[in-house]
Amino acid sequence: MRITAVLLTAACLAAVAASATACSSGPKTAAAAPATAGANSSPGSSGGSPGGGPGQDLNACALLSVTRASSLGSKHYSAARAQVIAAGQDQCTYTSTAGGSDLVVIIYQPASGVTWQTLTSVLKGTGTVTSVSGVGDKAMAGAIELDAQAGSRLVAVQGAGGTLTGDYSAAAAIAKAVIAALP
């Protein structure tokens, strides 16, 4: 039952985020970061650039290689798929090879309409929200994800494990790596 509630809440977050950007023409897929990028590779070392500054779409997968995501998340991911889910909302989905949940990283640009208050409201709707120190300007975690603010951008990390048990270390490590790679 709790998994169903978590999935429903995640769907609600997506709906809130999508409704905040009514001008979107639908999802666009971007090239994913190659799975062969090394664990210590910089995002641009794969030949592509993470792209844009605040307000511009970027390739979210170029911020964190599959190898690095696997290392930080302590799970093995086989591929990454970048997608612009709405204007100013850039997502990377890392496919889990162990069958469990995929890792999803979403970057919310200022133009997305998604605010810290939006993310807080959604997380509070799933249960307890815990402040997480040392990640971005501020961070919080709940049953469905870890959210962090870095300047004018927001980063959401879903499926990194631990959000249901209170161990946010993998999600925090992934968020920190993504924030460090933001252009």
Residue 20 pLDDT exceeds 90: no
pTM to 2 decimal places: 0.73
Task: Report which of residues 30 and 64 the model is more confident about.
Answer: 64
Computed over every residue of the chain, the mean pLDDT equals 76
Higher-pLDDT residue of 21 and 69 is: 69
Local structure of 149: helix, strand or coil = strand
pLDDT given for residue 115 in this prediction: 97
pLDDT of residue 100: 81
What CATH architecture is 2-181?
3-Layer(aba) Sandwich (3.40)
How far is residue 151's CA from residue 153's CA, in Å, rounded to a whole number? Answer: 6
- Average pLDDT of 123-150? 95
Q: Quick one: CA dihedral 9, 175, 90, 21, positive or negative? A: positive
Confidence of residue 56 (pLDDT cuts 50, 70, 90): low
Q: What residue ranges in the chain does DSSP mark as E strands?
A: 28-30, 77-86, 89-96, 103-108, 130-131, 138-141, 146-150, 153-158
Write the CB contacts of 160 (distance below 8 Å, at least 6 apart in sequence): 73, 103, 146, 170, 171, 174
